[in-house]
Every structure is written in structure tokens, then in C-alpha cells.
């Protein structure tokens, strides 16, 4: 199917009346089809999970305050609030509400969705608040006065940026770095800022001074200020594609290249430059392996020095997952066959030392959720959870005891449930790990297989109350596949499936599906699959390439038309992942799996029932992918249900009520279909 032959291009017109009429008709049909007392009961329980006050109020530490954004049944759009550490330790802290987003949305007649805030330290008197309409990636930036609890108008000298995919951050109380839509030609082909400027308070945005200007083919340009006392620096980054970027330090108005590999991740803390390699890096006579974490003195490196210390090197079972600085130490989380370990690295006069962090819960996944190296020394916050273990917020100081600061409740009955890890063998012989959560000695039954497989995103074990009560508690089996494309085994687990290697992702997922049946965990008729975004593309491929393996599929906020993905919204930024459809050599391998072009009728290949869900306000993955795929499946007579949330952005929902409905829709569709 060529672009000129595509009869459904009109569905790419996001807010066109005809397109929205098409959406509403299918929304109504899907809602009516799924309507039942059981649906309502599950939805109500899922909503309680999202709204309950017993959730952990995860907070970001900034000096004396911990900031939190909170939604519940009463505050649908949410409250931005803060408290002190003394209060936060209590079971029911007293929160100082800074901004009531429901009140703002009602007063202004806008469907505002919270997108974050940057508080200027150390005084913490002003903040840059970002709000989106309906959950889109594009945001409106407004300056907020934390003393008067009101937005500062542009007429009063406050910062205000109209809706755009904006990158902004304080330099000091009177200046910001900003990249936004400055007018024609100021955005990249991917729709992100192409120009970074310095904007002085009290001047018009048009008067901002250009710091760096990239090319239209770049992904984005950004600039920021590091305000660490004694180590104040300014940086500019030019992202040339999704995985390559040039980093510069601004010295006396001159940009100096930080000459690390463009595909490496570089971060600076005080004296130290950390480099996480994506591919092998040869420096002099030494080659550092892909996935290593290296440390060196930043200033010496910029001057040409190359004295690098290997802090972490991967092996076939172990990979780097996460790291963060406290004031004097580096916390490093690694994965060992997808299980987490935490170590503490400390620079000293005699080099670096490292030791394991002790006192952590066993058989759970650990994530670093916060440090404040600027004002709170060596303290840290960690989150611990597992498929059957609710989250615990851990707090400690390096070298001291670790305490369980907050504990989330259990939302479902885990009696008789167990977690196991198995390995499937993919077509090329690679062992693919996957986790299974089910009742001991259960007979083959309804099973949900979840996958993503892209952008080096690791799928580590975590607790989901909604999954537990809507699936596991009813007797379902839940499976997460750690297929290639993720980062579970380091960069090469991802890089080997880029572009022409993409087929390995699909083969891995199919191998897990077969292995589940071979082990007697389920049958193909009772096996469902679910994925979103890049995982939604995976679901489209499972539908069109491997329909015999599944009894039902849920495909959410997906890419599906791989002939046009790079022309829609942020799609151009993913060419490094998938390839360029305009290049005949690359389209040759992309066309082998592009779901939209691969659709056939049931007389040629019978597809399992599929639910396709997206959001009108998704300005990252264009809703046209989902719309056109559903229309094409309808046209040829395949079994398809469609639902499009009018709000929600790429996450698919703008508030807890929408999230509860979207979640229940997916689980109930799978449950009823796989049990039919």
C-alpha cells in the first residue's frame, strides 16, 4: 500500500470533524460492547487503587522541603504541595498546598494536566510550572510565586511561554535558558527546539540571545545551568539523532566540546565526569567495553587528559541500570539476570572504592528515587517493590542505617501466588528471560504476556495493584518478557535489534509465547498479549505475523504505519531505532513487519480479536496509526474493537478516572475474550 493508495489518510487529521465522528462512533460501540456489572465493579476497584490516600506520596527533596504532586477522588487534576522532612516522616503529614490545579482549570476553563515544576534554589520563592492541555507533550510554561501562591503574569515580569514542546530552566532569578517554538524554522524536523537562547527577565522572548543553533535534521537542542556551589557551569547539548549527541561546556561565551563518544551518556558532578559507553570506546591502547561506567576529572578531560577509571564493566549476566550522586558518593544499581543490586562508589585520594549497600530488602527490585547532593549531603531515597510485594520507600544516609519510611498497602490477595523466572530460546539461539506470576500448580489458563522491546528500556519487576485485582486475583497468569530492545543486559541487548535487526524483537516475543504453551502454563487460545507505544507496534506485528500464537491482543498508543511514522509528530526522532522508510534499502526490511501494510482478510489469515486504544491528545505517537489500523481491520472483516480517549496524551489518560477506565477496558477485554 503506497501513500497515494492509502484510503484512510483523512484519519490523520487529528481534530477534523469527520475523523472525530468516526472516533466517537467506535468509542460508543466499544463501550456498549464491554458494558457489564462486572466491568463496573472492576473499574470501581481500580479507581480506588489510583485514588487511595494509602499510596506512597513520592516526593522530591529540595533543601528543607519535599515536594509532591497528588491526585485523588477529590482532587481529580491534582494538588502541588510540599512539607518538611519532620512532617513527611509522620503517617499523615501536614501538607502545604501550593497550587490546586482543579481550581486553576475551573477558573480558566482549561483541561490542564500537570507536567512538572522547577523550583529555583536555594531561596525556593519562584518556580517554572509546566501544564499541558489534555496531557499532550506540548506544554504551557508559567512562572509561579511560591510566596503569594499565584502565577506571575508576563506584564509583571514573570516568565510565560505559549504552548510548545519547550525546554526551559533557570540560570538565576533573572534569566533562563530556553528552547521553544520561536517561529518559522525554529523547530527540528522532529518538532523539538532547534535553537537554544538565553532569555533575560523583563524582556520579550523575541529579544532572547541565541546560544546555539542546530540543524533541522537534528532531534533537539538544549542548554542548562549547573548551579552546584563552587562548580557553576553552563552546558549545551545537540542531539543529532535519538542515540547520538554532542555535549559542550560554555566557557567565556565559547563552546568547548566534551569529547566523549556521541552515543555515550555523559554526566558531570563537581570534579567528576562520568561516561557510560554504548559501544566499545578505544582510548590510546585501551578499549572500554559497551555498557561500562567510567570516571575521570572533568576539567582535566576537557583539557585533553584521558585518565579514565572503570567503575563498572558488564558481563553476560550483569548490566548497568541506574546511578545517582549524593554529596560524596555515587550510588549504582546493576541488574543481574534482571535482579537488582546496589553498590556505593566513593572517590578518594587513593582512587575509587566500592562496597555493596547492605540492609536492603531481598527478592525485590530497587530503584533510586531521589538524592539531594546540593543541600542534604549523603542522604538517599530508594523504592523497593516486586510483582507480589507492595512498594516500600526506603530512606538512609550513606554509611548509616536504612529505614522503611513509607509502606504502600496490598491491593490484592497474594495467597497461593508465586513468581518464577524462565528462559525461552529465540530463533537465533539467544536465551530470553521472562517472569511468570501465577498460582502454584495451576492448570493452563488465561495468561497475559506483556512486552515492550525498544529504546533500551528495561522491564524490571514492580508491583501493580490494578494488575493484581483485575487479573491475578481472578485466576489469571501475568507474564513479562525481557525481550531484546530493552536494556536488561546492557547496550548490546538493544543495539543488536536496531534497524535491520528489528525482527529479533518479534522473534523473542514469539519465542516466549511458544515457551509458555510448551511449559503447560497456558494454551495459545488462552494467551493474550499487551503492549503500548513501541510495545503497541510489537502488538501489531504479533497480530499480523504471529496470529496463531494468541487468543486476544491489546494494542495501546501504537506505531503501526511504518511507511509514514517518520512524517507524523515526533516520528522523525525514531529513525535511529527503526530505520528510514524513504530509503529503499531500509524500507525493504521495515516493510517486512509494518503492520498497517501487512493487514489481510480472514480468508487469508484469521487474526485474534484485538482492542486498539489511543488518545486524541497524544502528540508523540500520532493517533492516526491506531485509527487507520482499526479502519483497515474493519474493512477486511477482522475482529477489532477501538477506543480513543479525547484527552490523555501519550499516557492515554489525563486523570485517575480516565486511567481506571482505560485500565479496566484492557483487562476486561482480555478476560472475557480469553475465557470465551
- Rg for the chain, CA atoms, rounded: 25
- Going by their DSSP bridges, the two strands 293-297 and 309-312 should be labelled as antiparallel
Helices vs strands, H then E, count in the chain: 14, 39
- DSSP string covering 16-74: -HHHHHHHHHHHHHHHHHH--HHHHHHHHHHHHHHH-TTS----EEETTEEEEEE--SS
| Cα–Cα dist 438/471, whole Å | 10
- Which DSSP category does 156 fall into? G
Q: Which of 618, 599, 606, 613 is closest to 667 using CA atoms?
A: 613
Taking Cα atoms as reference points, which of 569, 591, 596 lies closest to residue 579?
591
In sequence order, the β-bridge partners of residue 389 are 386
| Residue 183: DSSP 8-state | S
Given 533, 573, 594, 615, which residue is catalytic? 533
How far, in Å, CA of 378 to CA of 399, rounded? 9
**How many Å apart are CA 104 and CA 140, to the nearest integer?**
14
Query: Is residue 533 annotated as part of the catalytic site, yes or no?
Result: yes
Distances (CA, A) of 496 to 322, 373, 487: 21, 36, 11
Cα 287 from Cα 280, distance rounded (Å): 6
Quote the CA–CA distance of 354 and 537 in Å, as a whole number: 41
Q: Kindly report the CA angle at 168 between 167 and 173, in degrees rounded to 5?
A: 175
Q: Return the C-alpha cell found at 417.
A: 501466588
CA distance 607 to 448: 17
- Please check whether residue 579 is in contact with residue 591, taking contact to mean a CB–CB distance below 8 angstroms: no
Contacts with 41 (C-beta within 8 Å, 6 or more apart), sequence order: none
Instruction: Kindly write down the DSSP assignment for every residue of 100-152, as one continuous string.
Output: EHHHHHHHHT--EEEEEEEE-TTT--EEEEEEEETT-S-EEEEEEETTTTEEP
The whole-angstrom separation of Cα 332 and Cα 348 is 17
Compute φ and ψ for 341, nearest 5 degrees. Answer: -135, 150
> In angstroms, rounded to a whole number, what is the distance separating the alpha carbons of residues 643 and 22?
11
Cα–Cα distance, 379 to 388 (Å, whole number): 28
Q: How many CB atoms lie within 10 A of CB 237?
A: 19
CA distance 82 to 338: 35
d(CA 384, CA 407): 10
Residues acting as catalytic residues: 533, 650
Amino acid at each position: 500500500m503506497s501513500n497515494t493508495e492509502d484510503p484512510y489518510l483523512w484519519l490523520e487529521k487529528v481534530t477534523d470533524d469527520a475523523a472525530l465522528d468516526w472516533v466517537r462512533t467506535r468509542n460508543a460501540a466499544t463501550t456498549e460492547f464491554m458494558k457489564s456489572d462486572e466491568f463496573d465493579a472492576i473499574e470501581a476497584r481500580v479507581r480506588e487503587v489510583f485514588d487511595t490516600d494509602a499510596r506512597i506520596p513520592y516526593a522530591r527533596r529540595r533543601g528543607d522541603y519535599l515536594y509532591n504532586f497528588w491526585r485523588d477522588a477529590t482532587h481529580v487534576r491534582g494538588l502541588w504541595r510540599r512539607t518538611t522532612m519532620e512532617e513527611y516522616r509522620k503517617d499523615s503529614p501536614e501538607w502545604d498546598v501550593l497550587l490546586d490545579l482543579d481550581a486553576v482549570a475551573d477558573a480558566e476553563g482549561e483541561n490542564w494536566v500537570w507536567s512538572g515544576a522547577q523550583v529555583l534554589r536555594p531561596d525556593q520563592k519562584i518556580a517554572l510550572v509546566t501544564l499541558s492541555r489534555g496531557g499532550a507533550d506540548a506544554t504551557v510554561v508559567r512562572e509561579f510565586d511560591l510566596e503569594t501562591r499565584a502565577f506571575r503574569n508576563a506584564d509583571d515580569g514573570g516568565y510565560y511561554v505559549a504552548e510548545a514542546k519547550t525546554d526551559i530552566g533557570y540560570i538565576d532569578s533573572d534569566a533562563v535558558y530556553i528552547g521553544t517554538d520561536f517561529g518559522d524554522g525554529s523547530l527540528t524536523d522532529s518538532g523539538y527546539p532547534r535553537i537554544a537562547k538565553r532569555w533575560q527577565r523583563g524582556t520579550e522572548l523575541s529579544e532572547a540571545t541565541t546560544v546555539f543553533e542546530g540543524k533541522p535534521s537534528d532531534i533537539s537542542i538544549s542548554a542548562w545551568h549547573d548551579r552546584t556551589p563552587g562548580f557553576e557551569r553552563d552546558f549545551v547539548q545537540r542531539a543529532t539523532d535519538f542515540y547520538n549527541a554532542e555535549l559542550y561546556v560554555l566557557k567565556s561565551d565559547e563552546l568547548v566540546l566534551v569529547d566523549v563518544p556521541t552515543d555515550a551518556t555523559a554526566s558531570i558532578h563537581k570534579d567528576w565526569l562520568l561516561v557510560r559507553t554504548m559501544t566499545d570506546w578505544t582510548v590510546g591502547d585501551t578499549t572500554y567495553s559497551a555498557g561500562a561506567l567510567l570516571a575521570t576529572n572533568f576539567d582535566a578531560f576537557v583539557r585533553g587528559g584521558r585518565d579514565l577509571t572503570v567503575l563498572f564493566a558488564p558481563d553476560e549476566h550483569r548490566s548497568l541500570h541506574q546511578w545517582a550522586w549524593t554529596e560524596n558518593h555515587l550510588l549504582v544499581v546493576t541488574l543481574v539476570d534482571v535482579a537488582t543490586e546496589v553498590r556505593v562508589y566513593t572517590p578518594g585520594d587513593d582512587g575509587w572504592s566500592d562496597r555493596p549497600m547492605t540492609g536492603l530488602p531481598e527478592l525485590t527490585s530497587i530503584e533510586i528515587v531521589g538524592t539531594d547532593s546540593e543541600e542534604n549531603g549523603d542522604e538517599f531515597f530508594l523504592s523497593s517493590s516486586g510483582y507480589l510485594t507492595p512498594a516500600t520507600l526506603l530512606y538512609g544516609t550513606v554509611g548509616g542505617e536504612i529505614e522503611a519510611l513509607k509502606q504502600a498497602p496490598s491491593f490484592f490477595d497474594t495467597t497461593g501466588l508465586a513468581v518464577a523466572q524462565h528462559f525461552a530460546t529465540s530463533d537465533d539461539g539467544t536465551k530470553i528471560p521472562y517472569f511468570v506470576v501465577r498460582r502454584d500448580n495451576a492448570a493452563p489458563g488465561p495468561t497475559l504476556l506483556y512486552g515492550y522491546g525498544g529504546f533500551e528500556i528495561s522491564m524490571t519487576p514492580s508491583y501493580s495493584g490494578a494488575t493484581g485485582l483485575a487479573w491475578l486475583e481472578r485466576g489469571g497468569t501475568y507474564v513479562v518478557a525481557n525481550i531484546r530492545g530493552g536494556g536488561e543486559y546492557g547496550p548490546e541487548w538493544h543495539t543488536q535489534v536496531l534497524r535491520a535487526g528489528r525482527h529479533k524483537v518479534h522473534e523473542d516475543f514469539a519465542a516466549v509465547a511458544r515457551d509458555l504453551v510448551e511449559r503447560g502454563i497456558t494454551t495459545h487460545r488462552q494467551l493474550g498479549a499487551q503492549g503500548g507505544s513501541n510495545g503497541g507496534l510489537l502488538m501489531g506485528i504479533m497480530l499480523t505475523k504471529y496470529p496463531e500464537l494468541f487468543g486476544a491482543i491489546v494494542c495501546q498508543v501504537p506505531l503501526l504505519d511504518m511507511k509514514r511514522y517518520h512524517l507524523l509528530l515526533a516520528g522523525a526522532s525514531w529513525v535511529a531505532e527503526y530505520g528510514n522508510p524513504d530509503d529503499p534499502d531500509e524500507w525493504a526490511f521495515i516493510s517486512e513487519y509494518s503492520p498497517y501494510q501487512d493487514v489481510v482478510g480472514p480468508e487469508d489469515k484469521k487474526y485474534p480479536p484485538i482492542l486498539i486504544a489511543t488518545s486524541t491528545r497524544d502528540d508523540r505517537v500520532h493517533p492516526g496509526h491506531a485509527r487507520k489500523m482499526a479502519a483497515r481491520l474493519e474493512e477486511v472483516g477482522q475482529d477489532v474493537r477501538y477506543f480513543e480517549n479525547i484527552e490523555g496524551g501519550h499516557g492515554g489518560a489525563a486523570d485517575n478516572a480516565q486511567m481506571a477506565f482505560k485500565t479496566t477496558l484492557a483487562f476486561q477485554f482480555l478476560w472475557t475474550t480469553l475465557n470465551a
